Amino acid sequence: MELYIKKITLVALLISAASCADFLDETDNSNFTIENYFTKPEHAKSAVNSIYQSLQPVMSSGFGGGPWMMVEFATGLADTELGQAQNSLFVKDLVNNSDNGYGQTIWTTYYRGIANANIAIAKIPEIVMDETAKKKLIGEAKFLRAYYYFNLIRIFGNIPLTLEPIDLTSADLFAPPANPEVVYNQIVLDLKDAEEAGLPLRETTGRVSLGAVKSLLSSVYLTMGGYPLQKTENYALAAAKAKEVIDSGEFSLFPTYGDLHIPAKKNLGENIFMAQFSAFILPSDWQVSIIPYNRGISNYSAETGGIFANQDFIESHEAGDKRTAEKEFYYTSYSLRADRTKTLELGDYYIYKHFDVLAQTSTTSSGMNWPILRFAEVLLIHAEASNEASGPNTDAYASVNQIRKRAELAPLSGLSKEKLREAIWREKFFELSYENKTWFDMVRIRKGFNVKTREFEEYVGHKFVYGPTLKERELLFPIPTAEIRNNKNLIQNSGY
């Protein structure tokens, strides 16, 4: 709870203090500044709490859609009923531009998190406090900085890399873009530092754990093995790091898919790291987006139909895949708000894996967390990376077949390296659907999934089932217009 109740947005405070400075004749000690704030242990924790805050705004949703949907519509596997959500439609129809508000929210929110992390990492060492606690807090800050940079580099490409606190007079206030490999190397360095910070293997409060650090590092290594870096030696590193998480014995798959969307089980089981929310305090508001448009099935007054699954994608699953069964990952019917004894057929596949039953049918305030890292992904990273590094092997099969067993599918066996690779890719697309994972994989492997043939095609030239065709420009999103305007050192991505 403390993550979202007792927090300070340091960047806002510092900008506020700087804007007042010209009007003061003497120092006002009531104003927080970098120099006078970091004096007590509780300041260190508050500073790190402020970094976590940037996990939540991207998940905001309503009749304008939501920033988290941006990378979902970019896959060609999502649909919407929300005609006024132009930002969603621009991405879905591959006519996106740099004025898209989703991109601006993601850029601003994550760089705010990075700025707060830079301040915490620089100033916490100066505080007189328990050294063990200090080391853990710095480890959390470095993990979060790595996470934000990992998303920004994959979404926008050539981005500024800043590692020190910045104020309005800093030379790096408008930093030029860094070489992408340099950014990735810094992400790895931050995560390696976080590994040595003494964090617990699991953390049920929602704070960063060692399991989260190792899981994210395995994902980073896997990405570095693919495009754009193609550092294939990183596949072995990804497999080894994922294996550490598996062998820890601390994490396991939930026995049922229903456990994934029970708020009481957040931060438990296969949930390794999540964006934290709390009903009636900081509720998760994407619930209004995953229900059909004004059909009267929810107690929420807003039913936006913001995002739902493409039917052809659902039909591309293997016959008998439990994930496509009613009210497992998706739902096609639901009871009516006016009379819960009556059921309405909805006509499309809506997303059930994020559906809070209590909030939808009663409280209209959801305490569900958003999954950022879960054990299912670690298993699939391990399977793919192990196959890439060593070819088909017992460990790779064991990991992917855990996913298939829960889906009530036959285990994979006897495949070539190429066939196993594509089988694992399919499992990733099916298992991690609508969790902000699939587009990143498409760009990393430079492939799109043909939902009709169940084959993988070259990313550039891949045609979405509803018409538009991916171009090279869609390997990145456009840098927001305001950022290009304010920072003359930035260069807009090709094609925008």
CB–CB of 13/32 below 8 Å?
yes
Note the pLDDT of residue 32: 61
Report how far residue 213's alpha carbon sits from residue 140's, in angstroms, rounded to the nearest whole number: 9
The single-letter code of the amino acid at 246 is I
Residue with tokens 């990992």: 150
Token reading at 224? 């570095």
Rg (CA), the chain: 22
Length of the chain: 496
Count CA atoms within 13 Å of residue 357 on its CB side: 13
pLDDT for the residue numbered 399: 98
Q: Record the pTM.
A: 0.94
pLDDT at 171: 80
Domain spans of the chain? 277-368
Which DSSP symbol is given to 309? E
In this prediction, the residues of the chain whose per-residue pLDDT falls under 50 are 1-30
DSSP3 helix / strand / coil % (the chain, rounded to 5): 50, 10, 40
Name the residue with tokens 């003494």: 198
Residue 118 in tokens:
């830079």
User: At which residue do the structure tokens 């995560």 appear?
Assistant: 191
Looking only at the bridges linking them, the beta strands covering 78-79 and 370-374 are: unpaired
End-to-end CA, the chain: 42
Q: Strand, helix or coil at 3?
A: helix
